[in-house]
Amino acid sequence: MPEVATAIDPLAPWTRSPLGAIVEERSRIEGDRTFLYFRDQEISFRQFDEAANRVANGLAARGVKKGDKVAIMLPNCPEFLYTVFGAAKLGAVEVPLNTGLRGNLLQYILNHCDASLLVLGEEFLDQICFVAPDLTCLEHIVLRGDSLQRTKKPAWRFSTTCLHELMEHRADPPAVEVRHSDLFAIIYTSGTTGPPKGVMLPHHHVFYIAQQRQQRMKIARDEVLYTCLPLFHNNAQFITATTAWICGAQLALAERFSVSQFWDDIRRYRATQFNLMGSMMTALYKQPPSTKDADHCARLTIAVPVPAEIYHEFEQRFHVTIVEGFGMTEAVPVLFNSPEARKPTSCGLPICGFDAMVVDEDDREVPPGTLGELVFRPTQPFSMMTGYYKMPEETLHAFCNFWFHSGDLMKRDEAGYFYWVDRKRDSIRRRGQNISSWEVETVVNSHPDVVDSAAVAVPSEMTEDDLKVVLVLKPGSKLTPEALVDYLVPRLPRYALPRYIEFAEDLPRTATMRIQKYVLRANWRTPGTWERKEAMPRREAVR
């Protein structure tokens, strides 16, 4: 029987649930035991805690104080986590940025969140330079890398320093009082019919995630939690990284997902648990079978959404138990299976501390087996988001009738298990990334030759969705799909570039002139549909 981690009492006073206090307590308990594996590095709990303190004190020296927003645009690396934990110790609010952000969306988020300081990977320097003239709040940039030594300082008004200078500050914790109810992070979701929303997450929510995962996945002290998902998402950062620390387990961090490298990493770090997105499962399953497929220590994987057609075959081939659940940036997890009592393809049951039901258009609960929208609410304070940043009307709308409306269509069986069916809202999910149709359309429509456009989800062989844009051009326009893609590349994240493009005379509309996207989805593969992967294979590979 594995040794259960020296737990931080889940019933402890909430004064112990701010992340900074938990970090210090866990560091005291674990000391020189390895916490983080990254590439060939092994970083102990004590070393990690001291690095986070140095970052906290370095941020403070640059004027960052409790409540200030610290944006992070870094690849997966220890410095990302040092910044997260350091900001938490200081009472600052982290704003993790998707590293694929470009153009209007990147500018919007940096201005909307009021970030005064940005910790930036040098590989994303061009993306910031592109929007720098339009950034209204940013004052300081801390650069990871040696670009400032190799090249001239960019011509911008921000004060700029290197991250290694931040880590030369003292290693004792900053004397700042942070409470469980204080804001820990603002994470931006994709907008659907409007701008992206900043989800405000309190410190206690991070603690609550770890508590729930520890109880359901039986995380032991000798567990190694592996992730290759990006740290700017709550999956990697909260469900894996901060959970590993709070539970006293170890963390193995990869820079990115690699089909050829994945199982080698699992074996190398002796990982026992990992998380997957549905497209990743499909990619792994499609690899040629190997005698080494089951040669590893992993026992559990949290995976969403699981392709039903490969569910059992994946478990048998790779000798892992799949556990499914449901969560959102606003609250994770909400529904969860347990390894002992799971129903394949189900999202599971409501976790302790949440009520959930399936309702009709009038918010009335529907009988088992009936399709409706999932709504939920917490029974404990600060266990989910506290609202959308600077969007009070959207917050009230989401919590209509005192239930949070997920926008996801589900069914519930007689035993109370929930099953995801479809999205109610007009959003697109592509290879683990939520895509804002509103943002794609806004950028496409900014092209001088475009009259109007509609971005829709279409089927993908990798599960989830692919993206198609149907657009109407101005009379006499000579715009080609290739030229449109070239226009979109610096203005949209790579994952939001449409795979399919079609030019149309008009878009189907309702009597009130709303675009009927269901019509475009139902007949999406037309003779006039252009596919980027086929038409631009070499440039696709570069991107």
Q: pLDDT tens digit string along 277-288?
A: 877 888 898 888
What's the alpha-carbon Rg for the chain, to the nearest Å? 23
- pTM for this prediction: 0.81
Q: How far apart are CA 374 and CA 423, in angstroms?
A: 10
Q: What is the pLDDT of residue 514?
A: 61
Type and span of the H or E element at 44: strand 41-44
Q: Please give the pLDDT value at position 371.
A: 84
Whether 422 contacts 464, CB under 8 Å? no
Per-10-residue mean pLDDT of the chain, 543 residues long, equals: 44 62 91 97 97 97 97 98 97 95 93 98 94 95 80 78 93 94 93 78 94 88 95 94 94 94 97 89 87 94 82 94 93 91 91 94 93 93 96 95 92 94 71 76 89 88 86 92 95 92 86 68 90 63 40
Q: What is the pLDDT of residue 194?
A: 64
Class of the CATH domain delimited by 219-374+408-423: alpha beta
Query: Can you say how many angstroms the Cα of residue 311 is from the centroid of all Cα atoms in its chain?
Result: 24
Cβ neighbours of 233 (radius 10 Å): 19
pLDDT at 216: 86
Per domain, the residue ranges of the chain are 14-204, 219-374+408-423, 429-542
State residue 65's pLDDT score: 97
Helix (H) or strand (E) holding 211: helix 203-217
Same fold, 219-374+408-423 and 429-542: no
Q: What is the CATH number of domain 429-542?
A: 3.30.300.30
* CATH classification number, 14-204, choose in 1.10.1200.10, 3.40.50.12780, 3.10.450.50, 3.50.50.60: 3.40.50.12780
Q: What's the pLDDT at 500?
A: 96
The token pair at 219 is 């995380």
